[in-house]
Amino acid sequence: MSYLICLKPKVVPFVADNMGMALIKRIDFDGNKELLAFADQSNYFFSSDSSEQYMVFYHARIYSKEKLKQQLAAKGVISRASCDGELIIDAYRVYGEKCVEHFEGVFSFVLLHREVIFAARDKIGQCAIYYFCDREVICLANSLKLILRTNLVDKVLDVEAIYSYLLMKAFEQPLTPIKGIRSLLPAQVFKYASGVTRVYSFWDLRLLFAQIVEEEKVETLSLKMLDILKKNLQDNIDDDSRPLGLLLSGGVDSCVLASLLKEISPNPLHSFTIYFDDNDPARYFGRLMAENKKINHHEILFSAEKLSDVFIDYLKGLDLPVANSGYMMYLVASLGKKYNISQYFCGEGADSIFGLNSAWQLFDRVDKSIAFSQRVPKSVRLCFLSFLRDRFAQLCAFSLTRKRKGVLFFYTYLTNKLGLFKWKGSTIDEKHLNKIFSDPPASFDPDVVAKGYRDMVAGLNLGQTSTQNTYLTLKTYQSNQQLPSFYSVSSHFEAEVSLPFLSLDMIRMCLCLPNNLKKDKFLLRRAMDSYLPRELAQKPSASFGIPFEKWIKHELKSFVDDVFSEETIKKRGLFDYKWMKKIHKQFLKGNYFVSEIDIWSFVVLEYWLRVHVDQANVPKLSEQQESLL
């Protein structure tokens, strides 16, 4: 499912290391340039007649193929496409660049026609595509790792991108760790023609937020939701008899998928539950659901020792460093390979689309009580919010605890209002983070991330803070943190993951629901009332939390000590050892402003750079611990 397209001067030699793909096509381009196209044996398609030739390299699952074929027929083109690649070409013949507006599904592709390079990414961003472009060279691939394995890109670290990663725990797209390499955003197009490159958006998530639906009865809505989920699953199931995999957390989302998959697919179904100890509720509820539906069930104990064993291979699968995502997908896909599973289903995205985080509801209440502040000029308001946040920060630091919930809540609220959409345990702030860089660029602006988030919601008129945060969750958290790790880790095992809750139809419906139907996923539970055992249907939602704080203070302490050592820090040359040592000590003392996820983000970054940039022979974590001891 991998592809790499390189356009370079003929005089520049091409060297690549361990790509695992064949050279499919070499094409003369613009006279003095040549285009090299690499792919595996399953994801490219050539179409030619006497006057035209098209080639497409893709990772795609186009939904509603017959509907699209009917649209093409109405335009005078009879499509007999037997694969997604051929259908992409047929649509491009009719609609040109606007073909992407007619695609429903998940995709990334590069299409070659004459001397035009046309690439696109799906609307939600479930499939990835990365690019490098300068005056001489263009590289496009559905994996960042493939570009890094060539000799065409200087592996210079992007300090501003790394700053945003350490602040938000994921790289804010289009940024990557390497200068010049970018990712296409969801619903973006890359086009090269006549020596000119353009990158532009063909759709935006805000369009779904602008739609209004008429009020309907709960029974009608629940049936509608059920129909959408069934259609999403049917669109994603391959037309063969291979077994399917399901990440079964024991929560209502994955249990819903378990019930529907058993109903609509004859394929063998394997479920996988990750648990941390024998008393983990996920283990009990996952087993309960599997027994109820007679599913082949597997349980995987996730421990510090397990992380030690798989961590380096996990990083080899990651296109981008991410502090707290992808581990569950890795463990499941590595075991599922034994059962010849190449497709997994996951309930990821349900929390995002129902979007009724309890803290966000409190944010809405605070907003109402200080609505008068909106009359104050924005620049003055931001300065005042920043001042208040600093005061609450001092209170948090003084208490040296996370137990002062009131103080902590208002600090989090002010952080959110200033534009920083924090997620998954990140607590380090811009002022602390800015000090650790040994040589920040002269133009470095520590407020750049917050400005980016404020710009995203500016002028959208989304109303409540909870609605704005739902938009940002789908716009950034999913596409920055969750989807890239799920996509690249599953691809590492020659598999793919399908996320039925993140279809456009499902997102559109959930955004328009009143809060009483979103709360605790009321409508989803109502729709599945007859499908789930009562104990599961009434089970409250719970998060998947890895006990990093305990692990990195004990079992993985020597590993963390290695990354924070003076030798490692000075060799990397990014950070100031004095300040790194200080924040490490603050974490060990329990200071709120440095969490376990903050510390782990440094570990993931350093080892990802060793694997993919230094390309060192990195030992397993357990071997690393032994050498340090």
Binding residues: 84, 247, 274
Amino acid identity of residue 322, one-letter, is V
Residue 384's pLDDT is what?
82
Average pLDDT, integer, range 285-294: 93
DSSP 79: -
Label residue 97 exposed, middle or buried (CB < 10 Å: 0-12, 13-18, 19+): middle
Residue 49's pLDDT is what?
57
Binding residues for L-glutamine: 84
pLDDT tens digits, one per residue of 95-149: 999 999 999 999 999 999 988 999 999 999 999 999 999 989 999 999 999 999 9
Residue 310's pLDDT is what?
93
Average pLDDT, integer, range 297-316: 94
Residue found by looking up tokens 């611990």 in the block: 625
Query: What string of DSSP letters covers 173-221?
Result: TT--SBTTEEEPPTTEEEEEETTEEEEEES--THHHHT-------HHHH
Domains, in order of start, for the chain: 3-204 (3.60.20.10), 211-412+442-545 (3.40.50.620)
Binding residues for ATP: 247, 274
* CA–CA dist 125, 480 (Å, integer): 9
- Please say whether the beta carbons of 272 and 298 come within 8 A: yes
Q: Helix, strand or coil for residue 239?
A: coil
* CA–CA dist 119, 245 (Å, integer): 30
Higher pLDDT, 213 or 543: 543
Statement: residue 571 has pLDDT above 60: yes
Residue 312's pLDDT is what?
93
Q: Give the strand order in the sheet containing 244-247.
A: 296-301, 269-275, 244-247, 343-345, 496-498
Among 112-126, 342-356, 400-414, which range has the highest average pLDDT?
Answer: 112-126
439: alpha, beta or left, given left = phi > 0 and alpha = psi -120 to 50?
Answer: beta
Closest CA to 283 of 542, 521, 551: 542
* CA–CA dist 598, 583 (Å, integer): 10
* CA–CA dist 166, 602 (Å, integer): 7
- Long-range contacts: 170-176, Cβ < 8 Å, 24+? 170/320, 170/322, 170/323, 170/325, 170/477, 170/480, 170/481, 170/484, 171/320, 171/321, 171/322, 171/480, 172/449, 172/452, 172/476, 172/480, 173/125, 173/476, 173/479, 173/480, 176/130, 176/144, 176/320
Among 42-46, 181-185, 620-624, which range has the highest average pLDDT?
Answer: 181-185
Helix (H) or strand (E) holding 516: helix 515-518
216 φ, ψ (degrees, to nearest 5) = -130, 160
